[in-house]
Every structure is written in structure tokens, then in C-alpha cells.
Amino acid sequence: MPDDARRALLTRFFDHAPTFPPASLPPAEALAEDRRARASEHAWMLGRLVWPAGQLSELPQDEGRALAVVESGSERQDEAVYLEGAPLDEVAARGLRTKIRCGGERVPTMEELAHFIRGCRTRGLVFKATAGLHHAYPTESGEHGFLNLLAAAVFGDEEEALREQSGAFALDATSFRWRDREALPDRLADARASLLHSIGTCSFFEPVGELEKLGIV
């Protein structure tokens, strides 16, 4: 169990999807960007390489990279399968995991996202989120913040957590804090293991840069 709250909350949190929009890098450039992320000082936050099933032949055999393979409506990593868009009761009945898209053609409202997180919590479902999560806090253009998403998973009160603006949360080696609430490393690790697995992002360095600006890493 990590004894640093930052490690407990953010280890392998950012699944890297450089071939997907808006980055949409061709395979060779995507691999070069992923290698750059792996060589960075913040590589401990780098999760799996998200890769289209139809382009697996473009990956070198010796790349040695943990993958999340995306097909139509689903994503597989190791033994876990994430279904996107399926009713949560169906996902739970099949013993699978679920996935929500937070950007792209349509951005879910805070109420919709909060309802989804509560639904996963009550059903004991692990989920991951993808698209539109490059920023730590919500933006004026309507993008959700990944720190808000983490706070909603850790503390509950999902609507309130998702609405919070810049400066609402504090994260250091000791704990993750919101208002009068505090979560220590063991609670953070449990939230990652039992509810919010990771987020998918076409850029690793943009969200990490946000954490640097906030003084968190």
C-alpha cells in the first residue's frame, strides 16, 4: 500500500491514447510520444497504452508495453473488459467493467456524470473515463476536471465535487483534501481499485502539466 497520497491516487492513472482524437497521431509518432512519456520523471502516473485493435500489427513485437486494446464498444486490458454505453445492470450481471466518455461529440452534464458514478458505486462496478479530461478542473468551455472526478470517486457528493472550481482540492504526500474532508493513502488506493480505475487521454503531458502548475507533482 503506498504511503504517499499522491502515489496512491495517481499511480498509473493516465492511460495513454495518442492515436485517438484529438491527437490522432499515426502509429510511429504515437509510439515515439509514448516512449517520451515512459522516459519522463512522471512516468509512474502513466498507465496502459491504449491502442486500436485494427492497428495491433503496427506495434513492434518487442515494445514490452502494457496495452488497453479498443474495439467497437469495448476495451480489453489484461483480463478486464470495459463496456461503453451498456446499461450498468447489464455490465454488472456479466461481471464486466464500464467506461464513460466525457468529451468528444457530446459532453455529459455534471448531473449525468454524477449519476453514472453513483450507479457504479452502488453496483460495485469499476469504471474508467475517457475523452475531454486533460484539465485538473472544469473549463469555461464545459470540459470536466480529472481532479473533480477523483474527488467524486473518493468522497461521494458527486454533483458538488464535479462542480468545484480551481483550488478546491489539495493533494500532497499526506492526504487528498476537500473542504473539511480528508482521505489518507489507503482510502485513495481503495477508491482506485474498487471504483475509478483510470482515465484515457490522448496526451500524457497536458494533464501532468496541470498537476505541475498546481504544485502537486
Are the beta carbons of 88 and 59 closer than 8 angstroms?
Answer: no
The pTM of the full predicted model, rounded to 2 decimals, is 0.95
Provide the β-strand partners of residue 68: 50
**What is the spatial distance between Cα 144 and Cα 186, in angstroms, rounded to a whole number?**
26
Q: What percent of the chain has pLDDT over 70?
A: 100
pLDDT of amino acid 101: 95
The single-letter DSSP state of residue 56 is G
Give whole-number Cα distances, 188 to 10, 42, 73, in Å. Answer: 9, 19, 29
Give the tens place of pLDDT for each residue, 33-83.
Answer: 999 999 999 999 999 999 999 999 999 988 889 999 999 889 998 889 999
Whether the predicted pLDDT of 1 surpasses 70: no
Q: What are the C-alpha distances in Å from 133 to residues 3, 14, 139, 145, 175?
A: 26, 10, 10, 6, 22
